[in-house]
Chain A
Amino acid sequence: MMACIGARPRERRGRHHNRPLFIAPPLTQRALIALFGVLILASSSLSAQQIDHERTRYLGDGRGRPGCYAPLEIVFAGKAGGTATVEILSPGVALRRQVSVNAAGPVTARVPCRVAADSKIRVTLDGASDEFSPEVPARLMAPSYHRIYAAAFAPEAANLPASDTLVFDAFKTDECFADWRMFDGYDAIVLLNPGDGRLPAGAQRALLEFASLGGAVFIAGNFTLESGLPALPDPTTIDFAGVPVLRQSCGGGTLYRVAYERIAEKPADVLVAAMRRHQWYGGSEAPAGAPATRGAENPPPTQYLEVGDRRAAAPSLMVYGLVGLIALTCLLAPLALDRLKRGAWPAFAATALIAVGIAIAGANQSGPLPQVQVSVLELASDGDITARREVWLVPPAVKDVFTVDLANSRLLPRAGKPVTGWRVYTVDLPLTRAIAQRAPVAKFENAYIEGLPFRDFAARARVGETALDETGARLVDWWLEVNAYRGRKAQIVKVGEIEPLAAWPGTETVIRGGLAIIEPR
């Protein structure tokens, strides 16, 4: 024991003398160092374009309509000369927009974002990405017949008197949105334009698109439609609170126009009266049930639309050839090898090898594209302008989410409850042209169609006792369940050939059928 202790200093000295300058650390330590380095690199790349959590927020004074899209201002750190991809993610849906970054420093972009706790934003720049879930607005504006939720645009700041009846988010005219999806959650858009203020490019189309889907646009002041936009029908004059207001139908919605001077004293009274006319269908009392909202349909379409029959794929000659070859192999291999007297194993081995070859050939044959089944509900009023609400059934074979490029597409999808493994999307397409072939089927009034309570009519339609086909019957059943209690008048129209206006990449779009609902307001 003593000898060992005494020998240690000499050993240490010897080792110290020959010690290299650098000692390689053990493998675990090297792995930890490498991991640490990777983490540092990752955190540095993220911090270079990290989303500013403090300044990224929903616009609109802490208000938002749940389930609908609302304007969101996103602020992130950018690098000069790059292009950032901003994605707004909600379950099953991704809206994408490219934002050019001209200089280093904070970059601001305004995008539509669904008001829900599960919504996220992702910013990707130079291959690195960052995600953030914006805080849901504190004051959620549920749809109501007695409270109008509006976005008001004015040159300085909208000076409408806020009340329980009229709640509005104030914006400046020059920041009016050029994307209708930013208006999605509002009941009405109000433009107060006393001078000759101009809207930003694209804003007029966005307003018409919003109106075509059932919204109301109220314009006080100068407003001339840009060329290239669809023509609106001739206006009618309606007196609201003693002020004559021009009214024009636009798809399922309405445009109101009035000289600014006429409403300067009592803008809210006229606006509320006009909105009542729009939302209450001219009645003196609010309709029954809940008002329409694009955010959530109750009941959802899934309850009514089932997956339709698929067109069966026809086998090609190759299929017959492959099955014939494997059958022939299984039949001939044992017979041929019997003559060689080697036992059964060469037959099995040959069968297995040929089967693997056939399986590879079979796996590489081109099959039919997955079919996305689309049912169309066209919303119309007077005139040629319409909008579409489509229900898309997406087969399980399609794995990717519904991605929309905000710059190139005007549609807005919302994911619904899946049906037998198929995903369901309700897709809004604004400002479309009326489908040419039309055949009126029935008139709906006071919850009766053709002298029948609406549910009796729907039941008859479902068993083929009306002029509607199966898809039309299911659509009318859904529309009636959602809308009939509002006591409106409507005409149900069977439509002919329907052109798909949008398609899912890598799939075949199959139009199952459609229906037009014409609602005079």
Chain B
Amino acid sequence: MRYAPLAVVTVLAAAHALLTGAWAREAFDYGSDLALWRAIFYVELALPLFVLWPAVVKTRRDVAEFLLGVLACAAASSAVMFAFAYLSSPGPVWQSRPVVFACWALCGGFMALAARFGGAWPARARIALVCVLGLPLLWHYFSLEYAQKSQLGLQSLSPHWYLAANATLDGGSVIAPLAIAGALALIAAAVWPKRKEAA
């Protein structure tokens, strides 16, 4: 967790360098700047799912410290994104901040809550988050294929799917469910009794 902001900065800087390169522009055939930004936002939105890994969260102080770490990660990723606003304008970065912060809040909240349980719970929480945030499109296709039922409603859970399916980068209907669930998880993590007391 201590080096998570460094991981965020490194991954985003590498993604920028990779995606803005001449060969990448030619290979992916970006029709507009918005397409390039969209590709980078996919990387940014994936980071909360993978870089957060709480060490030991036993007390409320540990929860607060972990949340400060999440905040540092979110601020570091925003700093890198704004630094690369030279590509067009800061407009797309501003537009996407609410959904990015909501994503960090959800992942941070659930990882903190899982860490209060200790053991394998953080790993389980990460898998659950990937399934809920990253894979609803897959569930939708499976549902269509095997049950002939649409699961389009799951789009409001997945920022990646929402960005892929909508022209704007603002996150729209995704933000509220993520932010509310993240806030509830944070509160739960904060009020959960100490592990010793629970034992």
User: Whole-angstrom distance from the CB of B77 to the nearest CB of chain A?
Assistant: 8
Closest to B35 in A: A420
Contact flags A109-133 to B (C-beta < 8 A → 1, else 0): 0000000000000000000000000
In terms of DSSP, what is the predominant structure of the interface of chain B?
helix
**Inter-chain contact A313/B82, CB cutoff 8 Å:** no
For A140, list chain B residues within 8 Å (CB): none
**Inter-chain contact A355/B87, CB cutoff 8 Å:** no
Closest to A345 in B: B65
**Inter-chain contact B72/A319, CB cutoff 8 Å:** no
Q: List residues of B (19-78) whose CB comes within 8 Å of A's CBs.
A: 20, 22, 25, 31-35, 64-65, 68-69, 71-72, 75-76, 78
In-complex Cβ contact of B9 among A306, A330, A395 (8 A): A330
Does any Cβ of B come within 8 Å of A267's Cβ? no
**Inter-chain contact B91/A397, CB cutoff 8 Å:** yes
Give bound CA distance, A359 to B97, whole Å. Answer: 12
**Inter-chain contact A326/B89, CB cutoff 8 Å:** no
Give bound CA distance, A175 to B86, whole Å. Answer: 53
Give bound CA distance, A422 to B30, whole Å. Answer: 13
User: Whole-angstrom distance from the CB of A313 to the nearest CB of chain B?
Assistant: 6
**Inter-chain contact A395/B1, CB cutoff 8 Å:** no
For B71, list chain A residues within 8 Å (CB): 348, 352
Give bound CA distance, A309 to B35, whole Å. Answer: 12
**Inter-chain contact B20/A370, CB cutoff 8 Å:** no
**Inter-chain contact A306/B31, CB cutoff 8 Å:** yes
Does any Cβ of A come within 8 Å of B3's Cβ? yes
For B35, list chain A residues within 8 Å (CB): 420
User: Whole-angstrom distance from the CB of A162 to the nearest CB of chain B?
Assistant: 50
For A359, list chain B residues within 8 Å (CB): 75, 78-79, 81-83
For B13, list chain A residues within 8 Å (CB): 323, 327
Does any Cβ of B come within 8 Å of A24's Cβ? no
For B86, list chain A residues within 8 Å (CB): 313, 315-316, 319, 365, 367-368
User: Whole-angstrom distance from the CB of B70 to the nearest CB of chain A?
Assistant: 9
Give bound CA distance, A278 to B20, whole Å. Answer: 53
For A327, list chain B residues within 8 Å (CB): 6, 9-10, 13
Closest to A347 in B: B2
Does any Cβ of B come within 8 Å of A334's Cβ? yes
**Inter-chain contact B31/A420, CB cutoff 8 Å:** yes
Q: A345-B68, A355-B75, A359-B78 are in contact. Are A396 and B32 (CB under 8 A)?
A: yes
Give bound CA distance, A312 to B34, whole Å. Answer: 13
**Inter-chain contact B72/A355, CB cutoff 8 Å:** yes
In-complex Cβ contact of B32 among A310, A358, A367 (8 A): A310
Q: List residues of A (340-360) whose CB comes within 8 Å of B's CBs.
A: 343-345, 347-349, 351-352, 354-356, 358-360
Closest to B55 in A: A344
User: Whole-angstrom distance from the CB of A519 to the nearest CB of chain B?
Assistant: 33
**Inter-chain contact A367/B93, CB cutoff 8 Å:** no
**Inter-chain contact B76/A351, CB cutoff 8 Å:** yes
Q: A349-B68, A420-B31 are in contact. Are A367 and B83 (CB under 8 A)?
A: no
**Inter-chain contact B167/A421, CB cutoff 8 Å:** yes
User: Whole-angstrom distance from the CB of A223 to the nearest CB of chain B?
Assistant: 50
Does any Cβ of B come within 8 Å of A99's Cβ? no
Does any Cβ of A come within 8 Å of B94's Cβ? yes
Does any Cβ of A come within 8 Å of B183's Cβ? no
Q: List residues of A (308-336) whose CB comes within 8 Å of B's CBs.
A: 309-310, 312-313, 315-316, 319, 322-323, 326-327, 330-331, 334
Interface size band for A: 35 or more
Does any Cβ of B come within 8 Å of A362's Cβ? yes
**Inter-chain contact A362/B79, CB cutoff 8 Å:** yes
User: Whole-angstrom distance from the CB of B57 to the nearest CB of chain A?
Assistant: 12
Give bound CA distance, A380 to B87, whole Å. Answer: 40
Does any Cβ of B come within 8 Å of A447's Cβ? no
For B136, list chain A residues within 8 Å (CB): none
Give bound CA distance, A404 to B152, whole Å. Answer: 43
Does any Cβ of B come within 8 Å of A363's Cβ? yes
Does any Cβ of A come within 8 Å of B188's Cβ? no
**Inter-chain contact B91/A312, CB cutoff 8 Å:** no
For B34, list chain A residues within 8 Å (CB): 396, 421
**Inter-chain contact B65/A322, CB cutoff 8 Å:** no
**Inter-chain contact B80/A326, CB cutoff 8 Å:** yes
In-complex Cβ contact of B82 among A330, A331, A363, A422 (8 A): A363
Does any Cβ of A come within 8 Å of B139's Cβ? no
For A343, list chain B residues within 8 Å (CB): 65
Q: A352-B75, A355-B75 are in contact. Are A326 and B9 (CB under 8 A)?
A: yes
Does any Cβ of A come within 8 Å of B148's Cβ? no
Does any Cβ of B come within 8 Å of A307's Cβ? yes
Does any Cβ of A come within 8 Å of B84's Cβ? yes
Q: A326-B9, A349-B68, A367-B90 are in contact. Are A356 and B79 (CB under 8 A)?
A: yes
User: Whole-angstrom distance from the CB of A237 to the nearest CB of chain B?
Assistant: 53
For B137, list chain A residues within 8 Å (CB): none
User: Whole-angstrom distance from the CB of A361 to the nearest CB of chain B?
Assistant: 8
**Inter-chain contact A326/B72, CB cutoff 8 Å:** no
Binding site for B on A (CB under 8 A): 306-307, 309-310, 312-313, 315-316, 319, 322-323, 326-327, 330-331, 334, 343-345, 347-349, 351-352, 354-356, 358-363, 365, 367-368, 370, 395-397, 420-422
- Report the 7 A-B pairs with minimum CB-CB distance, sorted nearest first: A362-B82, A355-B75, A330-B6, A322-B83, A358-B79, A355-B79, A351-B72
Query: Can you name 27 A-B residue pairings with CB atoms under 8 Å?
Result: A310-B32, A312-B20, A312-B25, A319-B86, A323-B80, A326-B80, A326-B83, A327-B6, A343-B65, A344-B69, A345-B68, A348-B71, A349-B68, A351-B72, A352-B71, A355-B79, A359-B75, A359-B81, A362-B82, A362-B85, A363-B93, A363-B94, A367-B88, A367-B89, A367-B90, A395-B32, A421-B34
Known contacts A367-B88, A420-B31; 16 additional CB pairs below 8 A are: A312-B20, A312-B22, A312-B25, A319-B83, A323-B83, A334-B2, A344-B65, A348-B71, A348-B72, A349-B72, A359-B83, A362-B90, A367-B90, A395-B33, A396-B34, A420-B35
Binding site for A on B (CB under 8 A): 1-3, 5-6, 8-10, 13, 20, 22, 25, 31-35, 64-65, 68-69, 71-72, 75-76, 78-91, 93-94, 167
